[in-house]
A and B are shown apart, each in its own frame.
Chain A
Amino acid sequence: MAEGYVYFPGCSLKSTGVAYEESLLTLFRLLDVKLQELDDWNCCGATSYMAIDEDSAFALSARNLALVHKSGNSQVLAPCAACYLVLRKTQDYVQRYPSIRAHVSSTLKAANLPMAADSVHTRHPLEVLYNDIGVNRIRSKVSRKWQGGPVVCYYGCQAVRPYYEVDKPVNQSRMEELLDAAGIPTVNFALKTKCCGGSLTGTIHSVGLRLNYIILKEAARKGAKAIVTLCPLCQFNLDAYQSEIRRRMKENLDMPIFYFTQVLGWALGGGTRELGLHRAISGTTLVKQWFSAAKEVAAHV
């Protein structure tokens, strides 16, 4: 199989977002596309790193890109939106700002690594599925009929701004098109990029919760039964605090929050466990109902 990509998991896909990695690997396997984890990867440089010590953040990020280059690849998949943004930003900034380039180069040199940040292109799985693999190929591989209700697609901010290679900066539609090909009904949603709360759920909790609540509430109002995301932080924020929101806002919200790779993987015949569907925190009753075809769901939720 010639077709394949090297991918950078980042910390999320190994911890809170492990369902994202599981489902991504399963989906690509079902599509016969090879995914190879980048060897010896390190922190992407996102989160507070970029705000506190920009130089080090760019250097960390550039080291990963250098490793991609050394492995003989010219592109890398970054499924986590935060990783995607920092890697893509590094690629851009070393070309745009000579001072950043100089610092990054000298740091890499000390580690005997080449300056490759401008020659390695960072890509997101959504855009790869849409552009390289294509809607038609996904449609042709669908083996299961969707048993769940309508969903809204939620893109968050980092994957589509300020770089808009993953999708348009406004009125995104690629996730909807892929889901449509897999027979999953979507509802139009005005808050596709509205803030999920980001790290505010941890720092100024009440503000973070309110931002969460706005998205969940509007999705429910539009008649959606679940939210489909592409970012581990968005997924976690929306999934993890629903019981607290129920308590505080006195709202009856209980909605599953999926990765787009999970629902696509299901449509293509993936097992619930290998898609990480058993890891849902909220909306477990629905998850159980929708994916009841496979017994393992019931066993683990």
Chain B
Amino acid sequence: MSNQNGSVRIGVYICHCGTNIAGTVDVKSVAERAARLPGVVVSREYKYMCSDPGQELIRSDVQEHKINRVVVASCSPLLHEHTFRKAAEKSGLNPYLTHMVNIREHDSWVHVGQKEEATRKADDLIRAAVRRIRYHKPLEKGYVKIQADVLVVGGGIAGIHAALTLANAGKHVYLVERDPTIGGHMAKFDKTFPTLDCAACILTPKMTAVKAHPNITLWTLSEVTAVEGYVGNYEVTVTRHPRYINEELCAGCMQCVEACVYKQARFDDEFNEGLGKRKPVYIPFPQAIPQVVLIDPEACIEFKKGTCKKTCVEACGDRHAIDFQQKDEVKKIKVGTVVLSTGFQAVDPKKVPYYGYGTYPNVYSSMEVERLINASGPTGGEVVLRDGSHPKSVGIIHCVGSRDEYTNKWCSRVCCMYSLKLAHLIKEHTGAEIFNFYIDMRTPGKGFEEFYQRLLQEGVHFIRGKVAEVTDWALDKSEEGKLVLRVEDTLSAFVRRIPVDMVVLSVGLEPHADAQEVRRLFNISCGGEGFFTERHPKLAPVSTFTDGVFLAGCCQGPKDIPDTVAQAGAAASEALALIDAGQIEIEPNTAYVVEEACSGCQTCIGLCPYHAITRLEDKKKATVNPVLCKGCGTCVAACPSGSLRQNLFEDEQIFEEIEGVLDYAR
């Protein structure tokens, strides 16, 4: 076989990886045999090829022995392909004239105790690489310009912080929020642990800053409905749902709410978890951003019957802000990077039926209690039961819908701390006797353990045990009319029955019901539980496998406010790092069309999962956009005329590799 690359001089480098490889593979003999392969000029083994002295070996061999191909047998290319390509480049070689052989993950690690076989396998793999690399060609990286605008999806504290960080750095941000206001879950909380500062006091200034910022375009009641393009050049479709109020014209004076034909508020108020009521025209809460009302078409008589007197329109007067004709509005924007901060949903306590939520009126979810305690909540901050009485004793059950085979297996991380906070606040508001039922107390965080100690000092009871059930079954007179928590107290090894007036279920955090749709929309991955997956759990915690899409907050996993804000800042700065580089490198392992051979049959176009192939109308031939191509090879395999080829996966390279690995059978 001939090759078009002149005289090929190959250097083979075998890494010991300490004892990771050398403990199982006889690296010395492998190197000796590799030295005798055709085209190999030098063959070496070294303790750590990825170290500076290891890389230096390659450099000096390029100079001394004039090698022009490099084969490194070490770990997975995922880990160090970049390192060795860089080393080759520094030595004056084209980086794509290197090839890695994985004799660690694919060999020594999986064949522990089988030295002879593992050594033979290393021989085979290296032989394959040596034959393949003769056919490598020098390749050049591509570059693509980056659009500076950023899309932030989700306007909770994560999205707010990311948007402000980016906007303050001078980038234009589109902040898209599904609800009528930004603020997310944090806006509903009363106080925050462990410092007990008021959630609204620290959040609302940031919300106002979002609205006021010249670099932020805020779209509420809006959803991302389509995403096309690639890193640096995303084309995003946002659907803005009607709020039946012209946002530009509404002054937030609320006179329409006052004038509504419904004199009494009688529809479940979502912001207050249904504990309060609102009218068909309403503002979610006093500090909502934007400070604009909206109309709920499910509740409004005009939408249902078309016969309303429309006193709201009258009250609005010359502003003419009310618009019953509003329809979905579709916006198309171009952004270079995306921050996903879509948050979480609280576990529905009905999923744990033995705690009686929905059966016993005085069993509350923790989100409901947040609103009960809140001074701007439905009771003005008074903790009262559904019959208006004050609880004298309260049981708080931790881990509801967390750490449980039947609901969610994971620890939701924040429930121990917010349960402590609720215990403190309920005690402060009512003086009630409080019982916390926990499996383990998890308080790892700055000032968290101290807060736990403080609660112990305050006389809150802590019972270690998973509550079996909440029941109204009374064993004697003292339990009548109460809710009884049945629990094994695992510290005193006793089964106890604890009667209380109010039960609080500390519900866990889980992915949104439609997280999978969002995942598909942005072409990212998620774990089995549904939280979005970061590129690396330790070293790339805010990146995703889709370049230019970053994660912030609870959509990636349960976390508290400090961690959420830190992650949002990290996501924003990762986006900034991309934007400010101005351009992105594109790996050349992409498909290309040999135009002379292409018949223009278009088989490939429909098959490409990345919409990277188009048809040149003038030439009637296919062409591949290297920026969109991910190098999956689908089109190459499908092309009937063999006119699609792929860099680094050329037919000769693959065939030679196969021949090489099977050579032992000769």
Contact = CB atoms under 8 A, between A and B. Distances in A.
Contacts of B471: 190-191
A190 B353 contact: no
Contact of A218 (B354, B359, B473): B473
Interface string B246-257: 000000000000
Residue among A168, A190, A214 having the largest count of chain B Cβ atoms under 10 Å: A190
Residue among A170, A188, A191 having the largest count of chain B Cβ atoms under 10 Å: A170
Contacts of A190: 471-473
B473 to A, nearest CB: 4
B475 interface: yes
A15 interface: no
A161 to B, nearest CB: 12
Interface in B468-515: 471-475, 480
A218 B353 contact: no
A194 B473 CA distance: 11
B345 to A, nearest CB: 23
A170 B353 contact: yes
B473 A171 contact: no
B475 A214 contact: yes
Residue among B353, B359, B473, B475 having the largest count of chain A Cβ atoms under 10 Å: B473
A214 B472 CA distance: 13
Nearest to A189: B473
A188 B353 CA distance: 14
Contacts of B473: 190-191, 194, 218
Nearest to B355: A170
A189 to B, nearest CB: 8
A250 interface: no
A170 B352 CA distance: 9
Interface string A167-192: 01011000000000000000010110
A168 B353 contact: yes
A171 B475 contact: no
A188 B359 contact: yes
Residue among A171, A188, A191, A194 having the largest count of chain B Cβ atoms under 10 Å: A171
Contacts, number: 17
Interface in B345-398: 353-354, 359
Size class of the contact patch on chain A: 10 to 19
A247 interface: no
Contacts of A194: 473
Interface string A230-271: 000000000000000000000000000000000000000000
A168 B353 CA distance: 10
A214 B359 CA distance: 21
Contacts of B474: 218, 221
B100 to A, nearest CB: 46
A245 to B, nearest CB: 16
Contacts of A191: 471, 473
Nearest to B352: A170
Interface in A180-225: 188, 190-191, 194, 214, 218, 221
Contacts of A214: 475
B480 to A, nearest CB: 8
Nearest to B470: A190
Nearest to A168: B353
B354 A170 contact: yes
Contacts of A168: 353
Interface string A91-128: 00000000000000000000000000000000000000
Contacts of B354: 170
B284 to A, nearest CB: 33
A214 B353 CA distance: 22
B353 A171 contact: yes
A194 B475 CA distance: 13
B655 to A, nearest CB: 47
Interface string B106-125: 00000000000000000000
A250 B229 CA distance: 80
Nearest to A214: B475
A188 B360 CA distance: 11
Nearest to A169: B353
Contact of A171 (B359, B472, B480): B359
B144 to A, nearest CB: 56
A190 B497 CA distance: 14
A251 to B, nearest CB: 13
B463 to A, nearest CB: 21
A171 B472 CA distance: 13
Contacts of B475: 214
Nearest to B350: A171
A190 B486 CA distance: 12
Contacts of A170: 353-354
B356 to A, nearest CB: 8
Contacts of B353: 168, 170-171
A64 B354 CA distance: 36
A35 B480 CA distance: 45
A218 B484 CA distance: 13
A169 to B, nearest CB: 9
A218 B473 CA distance: 7
B367 to A, nearest CB: 22
B471 to A, nearest CB: 4
A218 B479 CA distance: 12
A217 to B, nearest CB: 9
B635 to A, nearest CB: 46
B484 to A, nearest CB: 9
A170 B474 CA distance: 19
A171 B353 CA distance: 7
Contacts of B480: 221
A3 B24 CA distance: 70
A188 B354 CA distance: 14
A218 B475 CA distance: 8
B554 to A, nearest CB: 29
Nearest to A170: B353
A221 B473 CA distance: 9
Contacts of A188: 359
A297 B493 CA distance: 52
Interface string B458-472: 000000000000011
Interface string A52-64: 0000000000000
Nearest to B480: A221
A171 B350 CA distance: 11
A190 B473 CA distance: 6
Contacts of A221: 474, 480
A207 to B, nearest CB: 15
Contacts of B359: 171, 188
Interface of B: 353-354, 359, 471-475, 480
Interface of A: 168, 170-171, 188, 190-191, 194, 214, 218, 221
Question: Considering the complex of A and B, which 10 residue pairs feature the smallest CB-CB distances, nearest first?
Answer: A190-B473, A190-B471, A170-B353, A171-B353, A170-B354, A218-B473, A191-B473, A190-B472, A221-B474, A171-B359
Given A190-B471, A218-B474, 15 more contacts: A168-B353, A170-B353, A170-B354, A171-B353, A171-B359, A188-B359, A190-B472, A190-B473, A191-B471, A191-B473, A194-B473, A214-B475, A218-B473, A221-B474, A221-B480
14 contacts: A170-B353, A170-B354, A171-B353, A171-B359, A190-B471, A190-B472, A190-B473, A191-B471, A191-B473, A194-B473, A214-B475, A218-B473, A218-B474, A221-B474
